[in-house]
Structures are given as structure tokens and as C-alpha cells.
Structure 1
Amino acid sequence: MKEIKIESTLYVFDNVHELPQEAFKLMQKAVEAREKAYAPYSKFHVGAALLLDNNEIITGNNQENASYPSGLCAERTAIYYAGSQFPNAKVIRMAISAGSKNNQTKEPIPPCGACRQAIAEYEIKQETPIEIYFMGETGKVAKSKSLANLLPLVFDKSVL
């Protein structure tokens, strides 16, 4: 038997005002998108904003449905829209802000597993990392230089 150690590195900022200017602006777009989320069931609102290499900024938010599996997360809403409208553009950076109407979220909230897999597909397709910033409503902001830090054993086309 052999042991394999997997490590991830995240960078944590005390608040959004510590972010580099370009990341701060993108996070503002994610917060604006979060405020427009449709989440009448969970009361958990998420906004995402993507910066593409053509300087387009794409936003998305979660869209719930009474039939829960039919809804879609903010990150996938944004990245699928970017992929459909700008198929040759690369995603440079992603900002995510999540908040609950039931209690204030102060810790960074990373993408769910399904969103990590979807983001991984685009990171692999474009052959460059996607920088990801994520936060709750307030408080600390976490940064990952690549989706690979958040999903180290990615399922990709090489196994098909």
C-alpha cells in the first residue's frame, strides 16, 4: 500500500476591501447577482460573476424550482451562459457570494460539488486555471488559484 497526500492552498482575506481591485469589482458584481437570485424555498441566495479573457463580465444567480433537482446554481448559470455565448473565451476569474435569508453568512462558502465539476470542465477545456474568490455575505474572502485546489481528484474526459 502507498499513501498519497493531497494538499490544497487557499488564500484568505479578512474582508472584500483587502482584495485586489479587479477581484473587488468582480465580487461586487457577484453580490449584485446574489441580490437577484430566485430562492423562495431555501432562502439561500448565491451570485457569481465571471471575467472572461475578452473582458466580458458574465453574472449568474441560483434559480430554484419547487422540484428541487430542476433548479440551477449561480456558478453553473454563469459558466454555462459564458460557454454558450462566448465559446472561445477563457474564464480568467470567478467571484462567488452566498447568503441566507435565515441567518447571516460570515464565512467563505465554496461552490458545491456539482458546480466544482462544471467549473473543472471549463478549466480543463481552456487549459488554464480559473482563479476563484468566494465569500458569504460579509467577512472573510477565500481565494483559490485554480479549481484543482477545490476538486483535486477531478473526473474528466481522460477516463472516458
Structure 2
Amino acid sequence: MSPSPIRQPRFRSAAAQRGAVLYVALIMLILMALLGIAGMQVASMQEKMASNYRAANRAFQNSEGVVRAAEQTAEAISNRQPVASGSLLQAADIARNCDDGFDPMVWAAARVDETSPAVKVRQIDSCIVGEAALDMGTPLDEATPVFQITGFATDDKDAATSAVVIDTVFKL
């Protein structure tokens, strides 16, 4: 018996190959590029949200500082202590009229284009005690000073992107 010839594997010629791997690789590259673009857009949106949160938080903290400084100044004025000349609040700035029509929202809306801090202080203890329409009588003790303090501040004095107004009641 004669030995059988060894079979050689048959390869297709280069012209007969269809290139399926090339198409799959290109599709995978396109999908990876789309995922990368989507990831960049998400990161950009998160950066904008963080920046807005930071600006709003800074504006709130600045406004809180304006209100706290006004509280300290109002307390100094009530105790007849000297007030610093650079303070936002002076004794003459405190309104003592109950029915002056002050609306914190209107006051805040008037400051929409401002960047410098501002404060509005009203002494309202006489509006609360003894002058009620219910004829509750006169108080036994002198009223403790009560102030309505409205403060305005922005996140940055030069290029403001956020502004906050805080309206609070402060009792000594």
C-alpha cells in the first residue's frame, strides 16, 4: 500500500477574504467614540452644576455675613456703643415706622443689577408690643428691641452670577 499524501490546509486567497473583522473593529471604534463623547458631555454638565452650586452657596454665605454684621451693629446702636464708619448700617439708617409699606421682595427685586452688599433694617418692637389693634393693654416692661433685617449680597463683587436676599427678625 502506498502512503497517502499529507493533506495541506487550504487557505483562501487574499482576494476571496471578505474583511468581517475590519467591519466589526470599525463599529466597535465608533461605539467607543460615542461613549467617550457622552462621558465628556456628562462631565461638562456636572462641572456646570458644581459651579452653580458653589456660586449660590458663596452668595448665601456673603448675605448671611451682611445680616450678621447688621445684627452686631444694631446691637451696638441699641447699647449706645460707637459704630464703625465703614459699616453698612448707621443709627440714622434704622427705620422705626411700622406702616412704611416695606416689602422685602420688592426691595430685593430692585437690587437685581447690583453687586455690592446692602442692608435694610427696621426696628419693629413697637409694631409688635403695645400697638396692637386688639387693645391688649400696655406692656409691663420696656420692650426689648426687635429688628427686621434684610440683607443682600452676591457671590462675587466684580462678576456676580448669583445673588441672595435674607430677611430675618433679630431680637436682643
Provide the TM-score with structure 1 as the length reference.
Answer: 0.32
Rg: which structure is higher? 2
Provide the TM-score with structure 2 as the length reference.
Answer: 0.30
Greater helix proportion: 2
